[in-house]
Chain A
Amino acid sequence: MTDILMPALSPTMEEGGLAKWLVKPGDTVSAGQVIAEIETDKATMEVEAVDEGVVEALLVEAGAQGVKVNTPIARLKSESGQAPARAPEKPKVAPNAPPPAQPHVQPAPPPRDAGERIAASPLARRIASQSGIDLSGLKGTGPNGRIVKADVEAAIGKASSQTSMPQNGSRALTVPPPSSTPKTLEQMGIEPGSYDLVPLDMMRKTIARRMTDSFRDIPHFPLTIDLEIDKLLKARGEINARFADQGVKISVNDIIIKACALSLMRVPESNASYSPEGIAMHHHADVAVAVAIDGGLITPIIRHAETKGLATISAEMADLAQRARDRKLKPHEYQGGTFSLSNLGMMGIKSFASILNEPQGMIMSVGAGEKRPVVRNDALAIATVMTVTLTCDHRVVDGAIGSAFLKAFKGFIEDPMAMLL
């Protein structure tokens, strides 16, 4: 018998949902056959059988959430009825899902469900609550990973060394405020029964955690600029008309992606990520583009966008967006990225400021292009104007760097021919 284990579909995956079984007990499967779909925080992926055999039992029901990596999910009986010669192996992910070559992203502590029991000693719990330390973020060193006093004290030490500004030599132990034992809705005055409760799926939890961490922990600031895009619209129209027979249909967003990538190359300091070890200066412009999908959003990445032509960017974007909506993206297609772009222009939003997508140093928020009165040569004129806002991580992108990036960006957008240089 061989147990099929919950695969880790990305290096940071701790758990996943079992979206769908494609086999049932008694089915004969062959190596390479897709047997299940696994839902990670961002995508749905296929699991293939490694060995051939007969499905003896499905150990996890379809729809199950929060299945820990390496938990047995099904049991295979080898066809001969004997144990397979080799040891049970982890099922492989579809072969075209290579290990993502990520810059080593600091893996966040495994997210835990609010209701999940955390193994911690009573003393560790007491000290943690007195010091405002969130146990769910700690790694325990006690028996079976139990969080003990020493772990909490170490966390307090770290928190204090990170956040304290020693004042007058007295106890300089400043720890973050208790990260909320959240009040129930009832405690906050919402009548029980007056709402439906939609369970948090993996994506919602991930969005909640990442956005909270980012907004709380990163000192961010917005820079806003207006851009005239008449020339850009004209150029776009011409390109699309001219290459329509080749199936080219460039969007404004495709051009913005390209302009962002070129601006990042022109102002390399802006293409950077903060880490405690130092500032990562990225070699390429990997532009992550927010795509709204059912139940949330995801940011697939146009890699090395500075090297790609508009047609390529456009085609890649269309493919990524479609697969994002189908939840078929592979982790390496949405993890990483050096810069993010969020465009709500098509929704009529005039301007907005996005929350940084860690570890990227900047995210651009693009508003709607609309005709506005502008002053030209001391006279009123009409121009198509688009407002963009750049949110910057001040630890790595200062105001001047962000402004230099926007200046370069404005140059490309208002004079698209410059992108050809």
Chain B
Amino acid sequence: MSQFDLIVIGSGPGGYVAAIRAAQLGMKTAIVERAELGGICLNWGCIPTKALLRTAEVYRNMQHAKDFGLAADNVRFDAKAVVDRSRKVAGRLSGGIAFLMKKHKITVIAGTARLEKGGVAPKVVVKDKDGKDTSYEAKHVILATGARARAVPQAGLVPDGKRIWAYREAMTPPEWPQSLLVFGSGAIGIEFASFYAALGVKVTVIEMLDRILPVEDEEISAFAKKRFEKEGIVIRVATTAKALKATASGVEAIVEAGGKSETLTASHAIVAVGIQANTENLGLEALGVKLDKGHVVIDGQCRTNVKGLYAIGDVAGAPWLAHKASHEGVICVEAIAGLHPHEMIKERIPGCTYAHPQVASVGLTEAKAKAAGREVRVGRFPFVGNGKAIALGEDQGMVKTVFDAKTGELLGAHMVGAEVTELIQGYVIAMQAEATEETLASTIFPHPTLSEMMHEAVLDAYGRVLHV
């Protein structure tokens, strides 16, 4: 007899959402967490970094108070208080998850889980903080163990927690850096670069590829790069890390660009060169769980190759985004319950980077759409043409749309500038509802808002732009 209908291993945004959905559907559910409820996202990722970046935004505005007719002299910051606020925000949300688990009568099991061969599904053995093992059985087990920062030992990109940081140290710095080398220009690297640069740290971003934010549309990448450089960030693209080590006074890196070697120094370094799925010490090998490039292989309903075992979120592969994990959690649980959840269409998963400026996108970039053989129509609209953007003092940015020229399908939308992370959702809905350019063009956007630019970028793709 199973004790539970479902055990979820990991309480990040994938795991806890899966557990709630299961409870809603009447399943007796348990969730295992070895650290804080809410996982990396709430405690060491999405949320605390947003708190830090909010500080950076307010600080930047205070420095520009004069532009708004305000006086704010002697603007300073207290690093400890900045970090404390971010921790408080994380703590509040983690407490919120505890409440949600209780509300839905989900059993929370604290400890580290591993799997063993079981009956209808693998058995879940949880080691508690005293080292004691307890066995649990369920009809279904969902792996939602997430991922962690990837280390690249051959290039010395291995966090040491002191001088060389991963995201965890970067958001709770043991000491305030004078200068930073940030390895990797994905969302995580860029957000930390933006935060520290705003607070006066000399930041250098090192990217192996030829542009930053490599998953974004090339035009957006290029636009963002210029803006970041204007903010004082030094950006080195097409530059490969060869070695990184801590020295008595800081860090020293050897990088290579265009065949030439160079030594860079700083007080600290942040390693943000991708993430690695947490698949170790779970007993997956013994069960014969199929992995591919370090990720658990799943099908459209998040099933692994092992009966009764499912995987969602980062442990099951890219894109490594909280909302993708949550969505997979819901799909997985609904499929278990015998409902017919809609399938996940990866081209409709939006991505956001909360730097200054913000970057947000969904769907295919122009280059990828063309590579897929689509004939495209592209629309663009700059922030300088938008009244609200100018009123906000945020006139730098752009909105870009990519349509299928034949069918009017919105293939992708790409934005850089103020508040675009809040705006992108409009395009995501349009894509999910399969709106065509006609639907978007005939939609009324409120004035004055930044969203008007989304309308204009659609009109521009069809030669009808109004305000340029």
Contacts and interface: CB of A to CB of B under 8 A. Distances in A.
Contacts of B408: 123, 126
Interface string A106-146: 00000000000000011110110010000000000011000
Nearest to B345: A150
A149 B409 CA distance: 10
Contacts, number: 29
Interface in B399-421: 406-409
Interface string A162-181: 00000000000000000000
Interface stretch (B125-133, B142-150, B225-233, B430-438): B430-438
Contact of A130 (B342, B406, B433): B406
A130 B409 CA distance: 13
Contacts of A124: 434
Contacts of B406: 130
A148 B434 CA distance: 7
Contacts of B435: 121-123
B98 to A, nearest CB: 33
Contacts of A130: 406-407
A302 to B, nearest CB: 44
Q: Which of B433, B434, B436 has the most CB of A within 10 A?
A: B434
Main DSSP-derived SS at the B contact region: loop
A186 B464 CA distance: 35
B425 interface: no
B40 to A, nearest CB: 32
A130 B408 CA distance: 11
A148 B408 CA distance: 14
B434 A121 contact: yes
Interface residues of B, number: 11
B439 interface: yes
Contacts of A126: 407-409, 436, 438
Contacts of B342: 142-143
Nearest to B408: A126
A370 B303 CA distance: 74
Contacts of B407: 123, 126-127, 130
Contacts of A142: 342
A127 B408 CA distance: 9
Contacts of A122: 433-436, 438-439
Contacts of B434: 121-124, 148-149
Nearest to B438: A122
B448 to A, nearest CB: 27
A189 to B, nearest CB: 32
Contacts of A143: 342
A127 B436 CA distance: 10
Contacts of A149: 409, 434
A152 to B, nearest CB: 10
A144 B439 CA distance: 20
B12 to A, nearest CB: 28
Interface in B421-448: 433-436, 438-439
Contacts of A123: 407-409, 434-436
A132 to B, nearest CB: 14
B446 to A, nearest CB: 22
Contacts of B439: 122
Contacts of A121: 433-435
Nearest to A141: B342
B32 to A, nearest CB: 34
B193 to A, nearest CB: 38
Interface in B20-44: none
Contacts of B438: 122, 126
Q: Which of A121, A124, A143 has the most CB of B within 10 A?
A: A121
Nearest to B404: A123
A358 B276 CA distance: 60
A121 B342 CA distance: 15
A124 B407 CA distance: 9
Contacts of A148: 434
Q: Which of B406, B436, B438 has the most CB of A within 10 A?
A: B436
A127 to B, nearest CB: 5
B373 to A, nearest CB: 12
A150 B434 CA distance: 10
Given A124-B434, A126-B408, A126-B409, 13 more contacts: A121-B434, A122-B434, A122-B438, A123-B407, A123-B434, A123-B435, A126-B436, A127-B407, A130-B406, A142-B342, A143-B342, A148-B434, A149-B434
Interface of A: 121-124, 126-127, 130, 142-143, 148-149
Interface of B: 342, 406-409, 433-436, 438-439
10 closest residue pairs by CB, A with B: A121-B434, A123-B434, A122-B436, A122-B439, A123-B409, A123-B436, A126-B436, A126-B407, A127-B407, A122-B435
27 contacts: A121-B433, A121-B435, A122-B433, A122-B434, A122-B435, A122-B436, A122-B438, A122-B439, A123-B407, A123-B408, A123-B434, A123-B435, A123-B436, A124-B434, A126-B407, A126-B408, A126-B409, A126-B436, A126-B438, A127-B407, A130-B406, A130-B407, A142-B342, A143-B342, A148-B434, A149-B409, A149-B434
